[in-house]
């Protein structure tokens, strides 16, 4: 039996759509493609980099069609030629290569013990600069996986008693935004009766210095009333960095929200300190997703521990909260396996929506009326997460995905069923 699975996917930028949801869609697609195996060697992966000529790709596919007629196995030859023809037809939908490039997966795959014709054309949400053509027994998803690499911008604040530097790091690019020097008075034992006055002047100049550092941090790292960076790393020597971040009137609370722990102790200031901070923060930046996950789940667990009533968990309570418009942040385990069924009784026209596990969805009793035994009509049969990704905005909520890889995430998945939310008010 042959089924046809076809899709056209346009990945939007984070300005148009939530970046985490886009990345979840990519991870989901990669997982599905990696599990599929080609029917012969008919799995075609075509990657066309940004700025490439579409005519060159069309010419290459025409040459491959000609070469494909020489495949000895008749069954494999027909599969390869069919996949190449479908790839060429899909490419004809485009007058030119999109600005971010184009990725096409096409072929006959063995999925769920069935041969399925699979065709995906994907416009990446970030520019892709490599080109690739492969005709194999599997799809090559490495280019998609690279899109998930950390390409966010992080701010660095390097502070010590000699001055401060502000910089950003995005991928492998570092940029110094601003730096300035300062001449602070040192401690000394002179002064006699004036020693207290000298101490007060010293403390006042230190505080004025920290105030200037905080004001410039807001100027460089806040735009349109929100942080323009994914996270902020503060590094330095002595106690300047600690005094800065602990002071709510000197350090902007909006920057405190994106502060990446821990504060880094470095031996130098200025650009040498910037380089040292980047090196020390390398592992932290790789784990920034888990840091955000810890913060999110920790805030949920804090509401539960304090019994504020501004939380919900479990499929039924969470759906009820969503329908009331009370859920401000919906938290979902990205591997939650549930189905959403919308059933109708053909005799009474009564509709019901059920949220069930994969095992429960196989129970034939779900699809019959408990009173009359009449067979119910299945109007919708969706993966719950797929349905929620498409419809969460209608509930006025923010959707956040978590994994079970952090301690807090694992606790949420096992203890709360992998679904819950933070409420706007007590319900």
Domain of 184, CATH number, reads: 3.30.420.60
Same domain? 250 vs 334: no
Q: pLDDT value at position 324?
A: 93
Q: pLDDT value at position 3?
A: 44
Domain containing 368 equals: 292-423
Per-residue pLDDT band for 395 (boundaries 50, 70, 90) equals very high
Same domain? 128 vs 9: yes
Per-residue pLDDT band for 111 (boundaries 50, 70, 90) equals low
- Lowest mean pLDDT of 143-157, 319-333, 344-358, name the range: 143-157
Domain final residue pick, 286, 318, 350: 286
Domain final residue pick, 257, 286, 315: 286
Q: Average pLDDT, stretch 356-377? A: 86
Q: Which of 347, 355, 403, 400 is nearest to 377 (CA)?
A: 347
Q: Count H helices, E strands: the chain?
A: 14, 20
Q: Is the pLDDT of residue 161 over 80?
A: yes
- Lowest mean pLDDT of 62-66, 100-104, 114-118, 236-240, name the range: 114-118
Q: Is the pLDDT of residue 171 over 70?
A: no
Same domain? 157 vs 253: yes
Q: Write 414-418 long-range contacts (CB < 8 A, 24+).
A: 416/313, 416/314, 417/313, 417/314, 417/315, 418/332, 418/333, 418/335, 418/336
More confident residue, 36 or 397: 397
Same domain? 280 vs 312: no
Same domain? 140 vs 12: yes
Same domain? 306 vs 243: no
Same domain? 368 vs 300: yes
Same domain? 9 vs 138: yes
Q: Tokens representing 421?
A: 């939310």
Q: Is the pLDDT of residue 4 over 60?
A: no
Q: pLDDT value at position 12?
A: 43
**Average pLDDT, rounded, for the chain:** 84
Is there a contact between 427 and 421 (Cβ–Cβ < 8 Å)? no
Q: In 2-102, which residue ranges form alpha helices assigned H by DSSP?
A: 19-35, 54-68, 74-91
Same domain? 171 vs 237: yes
Q: Is the pLDDT of residue 358 over 80?
A: yes
CA distance linking residue 49 with residue 124, whole number of Å:
10
**pLDDT tens per residue, range 67-82:** 878 877 787 788 888 8
Highest average pLDDT, of 189-193, 212-216, 375-379, comes from: 212-216
Q: pLDDT value at position 325?
A: 92
Look at strands 2-10 and 114-123 and give their pairing.
parallel
Q: Average pLDDT, stretch 389-410? A: 87
Looking at the structure of the chain, the number of domains it has is 3
Same domain? 223 vs 269: yes
Same domain? 109 vs 81: yes
**pLDDT tens per residue, range 17-45:** 466 777 777 778 888 777 777 666 778 88
Distance of CA 280 to the CA centre of its chain: 24
Q: Is the pLDDT of residue 273 over 60?
A: yes
- Lowest mean pLDDT of 140-154, 261-275, 350-364, name the range: 140-154
**pLDDT tens per residue, range 213-244:** 999 999 999 998 999 998 899 999 778 899 99
Domain final residue pick, 147, 171, 204: 147
Same domain? 303 vs 404: yes
Is there a contact between 184 and 238 (Cβ–Cβ < 8 Å)? no
Q: pLDDT value at position 149?
A: 60
CATH number assigned to the domain comprising residue 114: 3.30.960.10
Q: pLDDT value at position 163?
A: 94
Q: pLDDT value at position 299?
A: 92
């Amino acid at each position: 039996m042959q089924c046809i699975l076809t899709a056209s996917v346009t990945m939007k930028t984070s300005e148009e759509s939530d970046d985490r949801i886009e990345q979840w869609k990519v991870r989901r697609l990669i997982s599905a493609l990696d599990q599929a195996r080609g029917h012969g060697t008919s799995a075609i992966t075509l990657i066309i980099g940004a700025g490439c000529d579409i005519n060159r790709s069309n010419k290459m596919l025409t040459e491959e069609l000609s070469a494909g007629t020489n495949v000895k196995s008749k069954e494999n030859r027909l599969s390869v030629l069919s996949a190449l023809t479908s790839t060429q037809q899909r490419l004809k939908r485009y007058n030119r290569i999109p600005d971010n490039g184009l990725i096409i997966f096409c072929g006959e795959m063995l999925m769920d013990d069935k041969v399925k014709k699979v065709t995906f054309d994907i416009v990446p949400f970030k520019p892709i600069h490599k080109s690739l053509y492969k005709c194999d027994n599997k799809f090559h998803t490495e280019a998609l996986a690279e899109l998930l690499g950390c390409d966010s911008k992080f701010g660095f604040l390097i502070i010590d008693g000699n001055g401060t530097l502000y910089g950003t790091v995005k991928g492998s690019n570092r940029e110094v935004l601003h730096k300035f020097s300062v001449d602070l008075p040192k401690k000394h034992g002179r002064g006699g009766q004036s020693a207290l006055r000298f101490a007060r002047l010293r403390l006042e100049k230190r505080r004025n210095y920290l105030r200037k550092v905080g004001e410039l941090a807001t100027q460089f790292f806040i735009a349109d009333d929100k942080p323009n960076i994914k996270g902020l790393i503060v590094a330095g020597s002595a106690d300047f960095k600690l005094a800065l971040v602990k002071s709510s009137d000197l350090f902007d609370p909006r920057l405190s929200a994106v502060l990446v722990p821990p504060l880094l102790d470095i031996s130098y200031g200025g650009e040498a300190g910037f380089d040292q901070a980047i090196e020390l923060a390398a592992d932290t930046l790789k784990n920034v997703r888990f840091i955000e996950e810890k913060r999110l789940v920790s805030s949920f667990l804090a509401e539960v521990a304090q019994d504020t009533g501004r939380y919900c968990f479990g499929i039924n309570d969470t759906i009820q909260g969503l329908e009331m418009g009370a859920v401000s942040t919906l938290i979902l385990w990205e591997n939650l396996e549930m189905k959403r069924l919308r059933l109708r009784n053909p005799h009474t026209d009564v509709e019901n929506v059920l949220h069930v596990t994969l095992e429960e969805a196989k129970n034939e009793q779900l699809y019959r009326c408990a009173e009359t035994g009449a067979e119910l009509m299945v109007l919708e049969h969706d993966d719950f997460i797929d349905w929620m990704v498409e419809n969460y905005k209608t509930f006025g909520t923010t959707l956040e995905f978590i994994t079970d890889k952090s301690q807090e995430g694992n606790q949420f998945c096992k203890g709360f069923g992998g679904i819950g939310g933070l409420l706007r008010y007590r319900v």
